Amino acid sequence: MSQTTNTRAQESAGTGGDPDREISYRPVSAAAICALVQHDVGIHEYAAREVKQAVVGTGSGEKRQVQHMVGVLLGIGERLQADAADALALALAHAHTRASVRRLGIDLGDRRGRSGRRASWRQFR
């Protein structure tokens, strides 16, 4: 059975107010988002605190706690590298969020921003 998905989960950019990081990160992020939108891929961003909350149970969890809990949740006996644990934690947080949304019967297809207009990357085409 083959299954494809048209969604991407990513951690929102936390540059910590560092202007050098901000300048170098934003163009790359914008280019990736544009490519995804052109291919009709949904984009879901999660703050690092949201990912930690979903996996560790607290938004202020440490990296080693994330590594440990990802291993426990996925049944991986060996210690994961930090980057691999972060990527898997993001995937787990996204899966958990999507499952909760489905259980609650929430339609995320019509999310609206503060202005009351539909919030979507597609409006920037």
**What is the predicted pLDDT for the residue at 103?**
83
Instruction: Encode pLDDT of 32-68 as tens digits.
Output: 778 877 878 777 888 889 999 999 999 998 999 999 9
Looking at residue 91, its amino acid is A
Angle, alpha carbons 32-87-118 (nearest 5°)? 45
- Window from 17-21, 26-30, 50-54, 57-61 with minimum mean pLDDT: 17-21
Contact 45, 12 (CB under 8 A): yes
Sorted by where each begins, the domain ranges of the chain are 7-124
CATH class of 7-124: alpha beta
DSSP assignment, residue 118? B
Contact 54, 97 (CB under 8 A): yes
Looking at residue 28, its amino acid is V
Using a cut of 0.85, tell me whether the model's pTM lies above it.
no
Instruction: Encode pLDDT of 72-97 as tens digits.
Output: 999 999 999 998 999 999 999 988 88
Q: What are phi and psi of 57, to 5 degrees?
A: 105, -5
